[in-house]
Amino acid sequence: MALEMIERLVSRTDAAYQRWSAVVDDDVDATADGGLLVFCRESLLERNTTYEVGEWLPGHLMIAQEGDRGYLLRCDGDGGPVFSVDLGGLGSADPEIVAPAFEAWQRSGFALPPDPEPDLPTIADVYIDEIPVDGVALLMRARKMLGADWRVVDLKSMLTTQPFLAATSGRLCKLQHALESVPELRQHLFYAADDGLQPVWATESPETR
pLDDT, mean of residues 143-171: 95
Distance CA 46, CA 56 (A): 16
pLDDT, mean of residues 120-142: 94
14 and 82 share a domain?
A: yes
Q: Which domain range does residue 177 map to?
A: 123-199
7 and 102 share a domain?
A: yes
Distance CA 58, CA 76 (A): 11
Mean pLDDT of the chain: 89
Distance CA 24, CA 159 (A): 54
User: Mind listing the pLDDT tens digit for each residue in 13-46?
Assistant: 989 999 999 999 999 999 876 689 999 999 999 9
pLDDT, mean of residues 153-159: 96
Reference 175, options 196, 193, 199; nearest CA is 199
Domain boundary residue, one of 80, 107, 134: 107
**Residue 205 in this model has a pLDDT that exceeds 70:** no
88 and 12 share a domain?
A: yes
Task: State the pLDDT confidence band at 206, using cuts at 50, 70 and 90.
Answer: very low
Distance CA 56, CA 195 (A): 38
Q: Where are the alpha helices (DSSP H) in 35-158?
A: 41-50, 53-56, 102-107, 136-146, 155-158
Identify any residues that bridge with 139 across adjacent strands, giving them in sequence order: none
Count of domains observed in the chain: 2
Choose the weakest-confidence range: 12-16, 30-34, 63-67, 113-117: 113-117
